């Protein structure tokens, strides 16, 4: 396991994050964050990233251990929710528009089923229209 090969520290989440498990590690000189039940508190409640095996976008390897990666669509939504990260959401959307995707419609649709602030729902809806029409 990664915890066996890295120097690990478990942190308590800082607002607006309410992630259940958060480990910050250093593995072979690279800083890595491991998150479990990732959550962000917002004005209308808490958004939890529903991350399952079938949602893995890819895998990277660290010392022979597979590390699953989230989709750009998940990060687009998260960046819309994380204070000060709007520019990163803009960058992802610009990438989709200029590169023509691919975009995982199912991940954006799944996010819209969760509790989100109205302005974030609108931004995702706008992205849908721009990307799929």
What is the token pair recorded at 35?
Answer: 């998150």
pLDDT for the residue 8: 54
pLDDT digits (tens, 9 = 90+) for 45-61: 999 887 788 888 888 88
Helix residue spans in the chain (DSSP H): 2-5, 72-81, 86-99, 105-112, 118-132
pLDDT for the residue 63: 72
pLDDT for the residue 28: 74
**Ranges of residues in the chain whose predicted pLDDT is under 70:** 1-13
Q: Residue 131, exposed/middle/buried by CB under 10 A (0-12, 13-18, 19+)?
A: middle
Cα–Cα distance measured from residue 31 to residue 42, given in angstroms and rounded to the nearest whole number: 27
pLDDT for the residue 5: 54
pLDDT for the residue 61: 83
Cα–Cα distance measured from residue 59 to residue 67, given in angstroms and rounded to the nearest whole number: 5
pLDDT digits (tens, 9 = 90+) for 66-76: 878 889 999 99
pLDDT for the residue 31: 77
Annotated domain spans of the chain? 2-132
């Amino acid at each position: 396991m990664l915890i066996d090969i890295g120097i690990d520290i478990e942190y308590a989440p800082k607002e607006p994050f309410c992630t259940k498990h958060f480990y910050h590690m250093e593995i072979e000189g690279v800083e890595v964050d491991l998150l479990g039940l990732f959550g962000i508190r917002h004005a209308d409640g808490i958004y939890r990233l529903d991350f399952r095996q079938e949602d893995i976008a890819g895998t990277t390897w660290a010392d022979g251990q597979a590390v699953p990666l989230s989709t750009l669509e998940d990060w687009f939504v998260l960046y819309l929710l994380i204070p000060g990260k709007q520019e990163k959401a803009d960058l992802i959307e610009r990438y989709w528009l200029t590169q023509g995707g691919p975009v995982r419609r199912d991940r954006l649709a799944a996010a819209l089923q969760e509790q989100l602030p109205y302005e974030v729902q609108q931004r995702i809806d706008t992205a849908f229209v721009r990307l799929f029409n």
